[in-house]
Structure 1
Amino acid sequence: MNRIPTEIHALIYSLACTDDGTTGRALSSVSRHIRFASAPFRFTSLSVSGVEQARGFLTQLKQFAPFALSPCHTSPGDHAEDNIGDGSWETKRCSYPIHHLFLSTRPSSLAADERPVHITPSAEWAVCQEVILRYAAPTLHTLSFASFDLNDAACIGGVLAVPLPHLTELTIRARCTPSQLCSAIISISPPQPGFDAQGAVTDQDDTAEHPHSRPLLRRVHLASPFHGFATGTNSLHSLLRTIAPSSSLTHLRLSLSDMWGTRRVAEVLHAELTARGVVSPTLELAPLPRDVPVVWTAKEVTWNPILPGADQIPDPASQHPAAEAAQPHDSLERFVLQPPPTALTDFFCSCCMELRGDVDVLRVFDAMARDADARAGGRGRFGYVRAKRGGYGYAEALRDWRERIVDEEGCWMDDGERDALQRGKREYRQENILGRGEGNGRGSGGGQPAKVKKGRRLTWTQRAVRLFSQSSSQNSTT
């Protein structure tokens, strides 16, 4: 290994360190040479769950890069919250860059909403969270944040208060509603350009002087209670445009986690998707045993839109001069919805936001997904993930984050695409490990496969050498 060029080492470690940080930590304990060579890739992708792991990571970071986090007056035995809360820690240049980060307020064993360990996240977690985010901010590309405490609006508001200039994808799994989160953001940090202190949309002429804190953000996934849009869409409208510039957002997913009605959600989303030409205005629904309508018709959008980009299109009927020269602009490439984990009943209750049973409402989402795929001639712009018993939890968030690291679809896949992916992975493993038998005429007639031979899997070193040789040959030809 000592004779391998540094470029080969870099390719090996970049391919290996694509998990939750386990490989990077293991490489640091192999030898001094490997520890030094793999240092830039040690925290490329990092998963921190709970206060214990957060405290351990900060301790490890001080050992590896003492100049990265420099306490002004600390001792080795001090806790992080005793030093960082007063601003004595200064985050310096990121010598161990973090490109992909997964943060959870609880460890996996306690990551469940029905386990009320704390009503609010601990003060120590809030301090560690801020230090980790500010350290990773200059190089962070992917961030997934999962919270399982009841009053977590201030904690998530602290996440959104940190400027992330290179962030391209953000997932927030929370228990607070969009209105609660908007209030927390306003109380923690000044409003983003184009919004007043109440989160309402204002004139955006000053956006050039005050750029957005996440200018490159393209994909946003929100998993939280939405209360069935009972109080309207203003809070979610303002929240999404505070998180990311509306005109540049290409992917959006909403995972509903509360046991509320979804009828109003279906009406709002069907109307907005119809206005964009993603789905048809009239949907034929699957019949039910009860005498319920089998046709669903889109309404007119008379509310602040949820989907990004729509508020950037001037109304052609308006008298504004820009309306005449307005060009259609729709940045949305993919919208995914996961309904709440409610029971499949045909119960009707007029006091629950006109909830007409989940069987009736969920078939609307099914019809929307089928219609979107049919109109697109393949994969449509609307994806539907069926309701699951536990909703979108820790395991799903960590799985999607890991898949996005290796350029898989992650949370942007629907159920059919995920099933196909799992089948493809199983077939690939069988072909790669066992290999394919080839008929050689000995012991098998009619060209049937002979004895199955065991195939060889490429190691990280072999893959890196192959990639390096390919890149070298391309550079030599150019």
Structure 2
Amino acid sequence: MDALPIELVEQILGLACADAGRTMCALRSTSRSLRAACDPFRFHTVAVTTHRQITAFLAAFTQSSPPAQASVRHLFVVICGFSIEPGNQILRATARTVETLALVCTARYKGLPAHDALLQTAFPRLVALTVRYRAIYLHAVMARSPPAPVPTLPRLRYLHVAPTDTASLGFAQTCIFVFARCAGPRLLRVRISRVRGTETLSEALEEVLGLRPGRGVLPPLPTGIRYFILDLYWRYGAVQNVVETLETLERRAAEERAIHLRVLHEIRPAGKTPVDWEEEWLRVQTGEVDMRAEWLEDHGERLVAAT
């Protein structure tokens, strides 16, 4: 490696850092010169899923060089009951440079994991955010999160919120509103998972989309969002006439509001596990799947066109 041009070494290291840090750790132990060359890529792509990994990463990060600390671009974090504060510290420490963030909260306690770090810390470069929370915690976030004087997520374009519990459309809309007021005008694509399918869903969705006069119960879809994906969960199976009405709404939203509405129907009662989320995230980082696949345009068959 010492005989290779530095430009080629940097290209190799850039390709080697997409597996959540495994290859980078191996390369850094090869030689002193390679260890130094790895510094600007050291934390480029990181996944921490246990309390032990979170505390180990936090210790390594705080002791690393400034180039290494500035290398964080893609981050996957699972926050459990024992790792709430260390997890918050990681979010705050990496907020300046991280571009994509997947946050999975599995904590079951009376407080609110990652509340302050996620909604009250500025993430100036964050483009894509995926959040998996228990719905009750997200309700608490909404109730106690005043709007920031300036957007804390100014470059956010992709947002995916996935409660571990099924949630009503009203909850989903309030959730979008909270994150949208933290984002700037670039937020274009929103996905909400685990929305509870009901027989009155189509009427409520019409109000949200501005396709019928509102009653002031549900907040409208924020201005600027052009791709809106709902993952519905039907406890006793989808109601056929509602499904047909939702398909009609997809066409009306595109024609009358220029909104690409896509309604998907979940088949797993329990939703995805943290392991499922990590596997999907790793497939994106290694290039096997396009990042935009999480914000599908057409029922999982086409990717959203780049803007």
TM range (shorter): 0.7 to 0.9
C-alpha deviation, 1:32, in angstroms: 2.5
Match of 1:33 in 2: 33
Preserved CA contact (<8 Å) 1:141 1:166: yes
Q: So what's the TM-score if we normalise by structure 1?
A: 0.54
Residue 160 (str. 1) matches residue 119 (str. 2): yes
C-alpha deviation, 1:392, in angstroms: 3.9
Alignment equivalent of 1:99, drawn from 70, 73, 84:
73
Q: Secondary structure at the match of 2:92?
A: helix
The code of the aligned residue for 2:236 comes to A
Match of 1:408 in 2: 291
Match of 1:88 in 2: none
Alignment equivalent of 2:139, drawn from 168, 179, 184:
179
1:90-129, aligned counterparts within 5 Å? 95-106=69-80, 121-122=81-82, 125-129=83-87
Match of 1:45 in 2: 45
Q: What is the distance in 2 between the residues matched to 1:134 and 1:13?
A: 26
1:448-459, aligned counterparts within 5 Å? none
C-alpha deviation, 1:403, in angstroms: 5.2
What do residues 341-364 of structure 1 show as CA deviations (whole Å, max 9, x unaligned)? 6231xxxxxxxxxxxx64443444
C-alpha deviation, 1:230, in angstroms: 6.0
Preserved CA contact (<8 Å) 2:107 2:113: no
Give the gaps of 5 or more residues in structure 1: 69-92, 107-120, 194-209, 276-297, 310-330, 345-356, 422-478
Match of 1:308 in 2: 222
Match of 2:11 in 1: 11
C-alpha deviation, 1:375, in angstroms: 5.9
Preserved CA contact (<8 Å) 1:219 1:249: yes
Match of 1:201 in 2: none
Q: Secondary structure at the match of 1:409?
A: helix
Match of 2:180 in 1: 241
Match of 1:384 in 2: 263
Match of 1:336 in 2: 229
Preserved CA contact (<8 Å) 1:228 1:263: no
Give the gaps of 5 or more residues in structure 2: none
Q: Secondary structure at the match of 2:114?
A: helix
Q: What is the distance in 2 between the residues matched to 1:2 and 1:149?
A: 46
What is the percentage of aligned positions where both structures have the same residue? Answer: 25
Q: So what's the TM-score if we normalise by structure 2?
A: 0.80
Q: What is the distance in 1 between the residues matched to 2:228 and 2:123?
A: 23
Q: Max radius of gyration: which structure? A: 1
Preserved CA contact (<8 Å) 2:202 2:242: yes
Q: What is the distance in 2 between the residues matched to 1:269 and 1:142?
A: 29
Alignment equivalent of 2:190, drawn from 231, 252, 257:
252
Q: What is the distance in 2 between the residues matched to 1:308 and 1:400?
A: 28
Q: What is the distance in 1 between the residues matched to 2:255 and 2:170?
A: 31
Q: Secondary structure at the match of 1:133?
A: helix
Q: What is the distance in 1 between the residues matched to 2:245 and 2:275?
A: 28
C-alpha deviation, 1:232, in angstroms: 9.7
The code of the aligned residue for 1:131 comes to Q
Match of 1:87 in 2: none
C-alpha deviation, 1:154, in angstroms: 1.4
C-alpha deviation, 1:139, in angstroms: 0.5
Q: What is the distance in 2 between the residues matched to 1:391 and 1:332?
A: 25
* Change beyond 3 A, Cα 1:227–1:217: same
1:145-156, aligned counterparts within 5 Å? 145-151=103-109, 154-156=112-114
Alignment equivalent of 2:154, drawn from 202, 206, 215:
215
Residue 192 (str. 1) matches residue 147 (str. 2): yes
The code of the aligned residue for 1:99 comes to R
Q: What is the distance in 1 between the residues matched to 2:69 and 2:170?
A: 47
Q: Secondary structure at the match of 1:103?
A: strand
Alignment equivalent of 2:95, drawn from 137, 140, 152:
137
Q: What is the distance in 1 between the residues matched to 2:175 and 2:220?
A: 7
C-alpha deviation, 1:372, in angstroms: 6.8
Q: CA RMSD in A?
A: 3.2
C-alpha deviation, 1:396, in angstroms: 4.4
Q: Secondary structure at the match of 1:182?
A: helix
Q: Secondary structure at the match of 1:155?
A: coil
The count of residues paired between Structure 1 and Structure 2 equals 293
What do residues 285-315 of structure 1 show as CA deviations (whole Å, max 9, x unaligned)? xxxxxxxxxxxxx643333534221xxxxxx
* Change beyond 3 A, Cα 1:230–1:219: closer
Match of 1:397 in 2: 277
Match of 1:441 in 2: none
Match of 1:286 in 2: none
1:18-97, aligned counterparts within 5 Å? 18-62=18-62, 65=64, 95-97=69-71
Q: Secondary structure at the match of 1:40?
A: helix
Q: Secondary structure at the match of 2:69?
A: coil
What do residues 352-405 of structure 1 show as CA deviations (whole Å, max 9, x unaligned)? xxxxx6444344444545x379969xxx82233321213243244334434554
Q: What is the distance in 2 between the residues matched to 1:226 and 1:243?
A: 24
Preserved CA contact (<8 Å) 1:138 1:166: yes
Q: What is the distance in 2 between the residues matched to 1:402 and 1:383?
A: 25
Q: Secondary structure at the match of 1:2?
A: coil
